[in-house]
Structure 1
Amino acid sequence: MSVISLKAAPGAQAESHSYKQRTPVLELHLGGTQVLVTTSARDHITADDVEFARSLAREAVSFVLTVERMFRGVHGTQANKAA
């Protein structure tokens, strides 16, 4: 098993691209690294692809909720220290 750690720096972006002639691509720009997430085949979608996309969406929502909650906590703490 391999682990790759990519850190979101200022300017990091995530973009979803849809195409008429191929399956969609999720593109992540993280500093000098670009990651493309695609389906198992270029020309059709499988049930496993759908399940992976749903899992990715669920985990992304969980990630953003945690990041926002922590940001509000840190932001609130910093504001309290400045006051």
Structure 2
Amino acid sequence: MTRRRTPRNSVIRLTTGHAARTLNHPFPCREPVLALDFGATSVLVTTNGPVTAEDLEFARQLAHAAHRFARSVERSFYGLPDGKGVAA
């Protein structure tokens, strides 16, 4: 991912929990939609029209960042003192 050139105006923090989930909607005749649900709040990620090379690059960056996030969560979970994590 390239370095941000403009400062952030705001940050929205959505935390995971028992109501958090992700859904992929691969519509056959239009652009796909990735839904990130956090209880009563949803974030929809999609393209602005026909899929472009930039959209493909963003999707790959998103997948890579999500994979790194999952690995960090796994390390935090399994790295707890008992070595097994915490039962949900």
The number of residue pairs the alignment matches comes to 76
Q: 2:5 matched to which residue of 1?
A: none
Scaled by the length of structure 1, what TM-score is found?
0.83
Q: 1:59 matched to which residue of 2?
A: 65
Scaled by the length of structure 2, what TM-score is found?
0.79
SS at match of 1:5: coil
1:10 to 15, 18, 22: 18
Identity of aligned residues (%): 45
Gaps of 5+ in 1: none
Structure 1 segments (4+ residues) deviating >2 Å: none
Query: If you compute each CA radius of gyration, which structure gives the higher value, 1 or 2?
Result: 1
C-alpha deviations, 1:27-83, integer Å up to 9, x for none?
Answer: 011121111100122xx1011100100000000000000000100012xx1469xxx
C-alpha deviations, 1:7-46, integer Å up to 9, x for none?
Answer: 11213100111112210000011121111100122xx101
Q: 1:79 to 1:68 in 2, by over 3 A?
A: closer
Using CA pairs under 8 Å that are at least 6 residues apart, name the structure with larger relative contact order, 1 or 2.
1
